[in-house]
Structure 1
Amino acid sequence: MTPSPLLAIEQLTAHYGAAQALFGVDLNVVAGETVALVGANGAGKTTLLKCIMGLMPASGGQMRLDGQVIPKASPARMVRQGLALTPEGREVFPHLSVAENLELGTAALRIGRRETTRRMQSIYDRFVRLAERRDQVAGTLSGGEQQMLAMGRALMAKPRLLLLDEPSLGLAPLITDEIFDIIHHLSRSGVTILLVEQNAARALSASHRAFLMAGGRIVQKGRSKSLLVDPALRAAFLGAASEENPAASRLGAAGLTNIRLEKPDMHNQTFMPDFADQAALAAHQLKGLQWTVRHAYEGSSFYRQRMDAAGVTPDAIRSLDDLRRLPFTTAQDLRDGYPFPLRAVPFEQIVRIHASSGTTGKRKILGYTQKDLDDWIHFFARCYEMAGVTPLDRVQVAVGYGIWTAGMGFQLGCEKLGAMAVPVGPGNVDMHLQFMEDVRSTVFCCTASMALLMAEEIHRRGIADRIHIRKIIYGSERSSRSMRRKISELFGGAELFDITGLTELYGPGAGIECPDHDCIHYWGDYYILEIIDPETMQPVPDGEWGEMVVTTLSKEAAPLIRYRTRDITRIIPGPCTCGSILPRHSRIKGRSDDTIKFRGVNIYPSTIDTILSAIPGLGSEYQMHLTRDGDSGKDFMRLVIERGQGVDAGRSAELIHEIGYQVKKQLLVSVDAELTDYGTLPRTERKSQRVFDTRITDEIV
Structure 2
Amino acid sequence: MNKAPSPILRVSDLEVHYGAAQALFGVDLEVREGETVALVGANGAGKTTLLRAIMGLLRPSRGTILFDGRDVTRTSAVGMVRRGMALSPEGRELFGTLTVRENLELGVLALKLGRSEINRRMEEVLSRFPRLAERIEQQAGTLSGGEQQMVAMGRALMARPRVLLLDEPSLGLAPLITDIIFDTIHQLSRSGVTILLVEQNAARALEASKKAYLLAGGKIVHQGDSDRLLADSRLRRAFLGAGSEDRPEASRIGAAGLTNIRLEKPDMSTQSFMPSFTTEEELREHQLRGLQWTVNHAFNGSSFYRTRLEEAGIRPGDITSLADLRRLPFTTAEDLKDGYPFPLRSVPFEQIVRIHASSGTTGKRKVLAYTQKDVDDWISFFARAYEMAGVTPLDRVQIAVGYGVWTAGMGFQLGCEKIGAMAVPVGPGNIDMQCQFLLDFQSTVFCSTASMALLMAEEIHKRGIADKINIQKVIYGSERSSVSMRKKISELFGGAELFDIPGMTELYGPGTGMECPEHDCIHYWADYYILEILDPDTLEPVEDGEWGEMVVTTLCKEAAPLIRYRTRDITRIIPGRCSCGSILPRHSRIKGRSDDMMKFRGVNIYPSSIDAILSGIPGLGSEYQVHLTRDDASGRDFMKLIVEQGEGVGPERRMELMKETVHQIKRQLLVTTEVEIVDYGSLPRSQRKSQRIFDNRIKDDIV
Tell whether the 8 Å contact from 1:447 to 1:687 is kept in structure 2 after alignment.
no
Q: Sort the Cα spacing of 1:285 and 1:542 in 2 relative to 1 into closer, same or farther, 3 A.
A: same
The one-letter amino acid paired with 1:310 is A
Instruction: Tell me the secondary structure at the aligned position of residue 588 of structure 1.
Output: coil
Q: Which of 247, 264, 267 is residue 243 of structure 1 equivalent to?
A: 247
Q: Which of 523, 526, 529 is residue 528 of structure 2 equivalent to?
A: 526
Equivalent residue runs for 1:410-425 within 5 Å:
410-425=412-427
Q: Sort the Cα spacing of 1:488 and 1:269 in 2 relative to 1 into closer, same or farther, 3 A.
A: same
Partner of 1:87: none
Instruction: Find out whether 1:560 has 2:571 as its counterpart.
Output: no
Partner of 1:372: 374
Partner of 1:171: none
Partner of 2:355: 353
Q: Shift of the alpha carbon at 1:690?
A: 12
Tell whether the 8 Å contact from 1:533 to 1:539 is kept in structure 2 after alignment.
yes
Partner of 2:588: 586
Q: Distance in 2 between matches of 1:690 and 1:544?
A: 37
Instruction: Tell me the secondary structure at the aligned position of residue 458 of structure 1.
Output: helix
Q: Shift of the alpha carbon at 1:543?
A: 0.8
Q: Distance in 1 between matches of 2:324 and 2:584?
A: 22
The one-letter amino acid paired with 1:563 is Y
Instruction: Find out whether 1:291 has 2:293 as its counterpart.
Output: yes
Equivalent residue runs for 1:212-223 within 5 Å:
none
Tell whether the 8 Å contact from 1:349 to 1:369 is kept in structure 2 after alignment.
yes
Q: Which of 477, 482, 485 is residue 483 of structure 1 equivalent to?
A: 485
Tell whether the 8 Å contact from 2:298 to 2:561 is kept in structure 1 after alignment.
yes
Partner of 1:498: 500
Tell whether the 8 Å contact from 1:623 to 1:692 is kept in structure 2 after alignment.
no
Q: Shift of the alpha carbon at 1:243?
A: 2.8
Q: Distance in 1 between matches of 2:380 and 2:637?
A: 37
Q: Shift of the alpha carbon at 1:264?
A: 3.4
Tell whether the 8 Å contact from 2:395 to 2:422 is kept in structure 1 after alignment.
yes
Tell whether the 8 Å contact from 1:624 to 1:690 is kept in structure 2 after alignment.
yes
Q: Which of 314, 319, 323 is residue 316 of structure 2 equivalent to?
A: 314
Partner of 2:393: 391
The one-letter amino acid paired with 1:513 is E
RMSD of aligned Cα (Å): 3.5
Equivalent residue runs for 1:81-480 within 5 Å:
243=247, 263-359=265-361, 361-480=363-482
Q: Shift of the alpha carbon at 1:358?
A: 2.3
The one-letter amino acid paired with 1:407 is G
Tell whether the 8 Å contact from 2:643 to 2:675 is kept in structure 1 after alignment.
no
Q: Shift of the alpha carbon at 1:588?
A: 0.2
Q: Distance in 1 between matches of 2:302 and 2:478?
A: 30
Q: Sort the Cα spacing of 1:581 and 1:412 in 2 relative to 1 into closer, same or farther, 3 A.
A: same
Q: Shift of the alpha carbon at 1:691?
A: 13
Q: Distance in 1 between matches of 2:464 and 2:431?
A: 15
Q: Distance in 1 between matches of 2:457 and 2:392?
A: 23
Q: Distance in 2 between matches of 1:564 and 1:359?
A: 20
Q: Shift of the alpha carbon at 1:261?
A: 12
Equivalent residue runs for 1:523-672 within 5 Å:
523-594=525-596
My pick for the range that moved more, 537-546 or 292-301, is 537-546
Partner of 1:193: none
Q: Sort the Cα spacing of 1:581 and 1:687 in 2 relative to 1 into closer, same or farther, 3 A.
A: farther
Instruction: Tell me the secondary structure at the aligned position of residue 574 of structure 2.
Output: coil
Q: Sort the Cα spacing of 1:688 and 1:458 in 2 relative to 1 into closer, same or farther, 3 A.
A: farther
**Which string of whole-angstrom CA distances, capped at 9 and with x for unpartnered residues, describes residues 574-633 of structure 1?**
00011100010000000101389xxxxxxx999x99xx99xxxx9966768696999xxx
Q: Sort the Cα spacing of 1:574 and 1:268 in 2 relative to 1 into closer, same or farther, 3 A.
A: same
Q: Distance in 1 between matches of 2:391 and 2:452?
A: 20
Tell whether the 8 Å contact from 1:452 to 1:486 is kept in structure 2 after alignment.
yes
Instruction: Tell me the secondary structure at the aligned position of residue 374 of structure 1.
Output: helix
Q: Distance in 1 between matches of 2:373 and 2:538?
A: 36
Q: Sort the Cα spacing of 1:341 and 1:317 in 2 relative to 1 into closer, same or farther, 3 A.
A: same
Instruction: Tell me the secondary structure at the aligned position of residue 464 of structure 1.
Output: coil
Q: Distance in 1 between matches of 2:409 and 2:484?
A: 27
Aligned residues: 381
Q: Distance in 2 between matches of 1:487 and 1:582?
A: 28
The one-letter amino acid paired with 1:427 is G
Q: Distance in 1 between matches of 2:393 and 2:675?
A: 40
Q: Distance in 2 between matches of 1:577 and 1:464?
A: 32
Q: Shift of the alpha carbon at 1:463?
A: 1.1
Tell whether the 8 Å contact from 1:395 to 1:422 is kept in structure 2 after alignment.
yes
Q: Sort the Cα spacing of 1:621 and 1:402 in 2 relative to 1 into closer, same or farther, 3 A.
A: closer
The one-letter amino acid paired with 1:341 is P
My pick for the range that moved more, 261-270 or 366-375, is 261-270
Q: Sort the Cα spacing of 1:623 and 1:430 in 2 relative to 1 into closer, same or farther, 3 A.
A: closer
Q: Distance in 2 between matches of 1:296 and 1:582?
A: 26
The one-letter amino acid paired with 2:247 is E
Identity of aligned residues (%): 72
Q: Distance in 1 between matches of 2:672 and 2:528?
A: 31
**Which string of whole-angstrom CA distances, capped at 9 and with x for unpartnered residues, describes residues 121-160 of structure 1?**
xxxxxxxxxxxxxxxxxxxxxxxxxxxxxxxxxxxxxxxx
Q: Sort the Cα spacing of 1:419 and 1:310 in 2 relative to 1 into closer, same or farther, 3 A.
A: same
Q: Shift of the alpha carbon at 1:687?
A: 9.7
Q: Distance in 1 between matches of 2:379 and 2:413?
A: 9
The one-letter amino acid paired with 1:350 is I
TM-score normalised to the size of structure 1? Answer: 0.51
Q: Distance in 2 between matches of 1:475 and 1:315?
A: 38
Tell whether the 8 Å contact from 2:451 to 2:636 is kept in structure 1 after alignment.
no
Tell whether the 8 Å contact from 1:455 to 1:487 is kept in structure 2 after alignment.
yes
Q: Distance in 1 between matches of 2:475 and 2:362?
A: 27
Tell whether the 8 Å contact from 1:384 to 1:417 is kept in structure 2 after alignment.
yes
Instruction: Tell me the secondary structure at the aligned position of residue 460 of structure 1.
Output: helix
Instruction: Tell me the secondary structure at the aligned position of residue 438 of structure 2.
Output: helix
Q: Distance in 2 between matches of 1:536 and 1:624?
A: 32
Tell whether the 8 Å contact from 2:454 to 2:635 is kept in structure 1 after alignment.
no
Q: Shift of the alpha carbon at 1:520?
A: 0.2
Tell whether the 8 Å contact from 2:299 to 2:305 is kept in structure 1 after alignment.
yes
Q: Distance in 2 between matches of 1:475 and 1:310?
A: 36
Q: Distance in 2 between matches of 1:432 and 1:457?
A: 10
Q: Shift of the alpha carbon at 1:245?
A: 8.8
**Which string of whole-angstrom CA distances, capped at 9 and with x for unpartnered residues, describes residues 334-367 of structure 1?**
0000000000000000000000122353111110
Instruction: Tell me the secondary structure at the aligned position of residue 341 of structure 2.
Output: coil
Q: Distance in 2 between matches of 1:382 and 1:564?
A: 25
Equivalent residue runs for 1:33-44 within 5 Å:
none
Instruction: Find out whether 1:508 has 2:504 as its counterpart.
Output: no
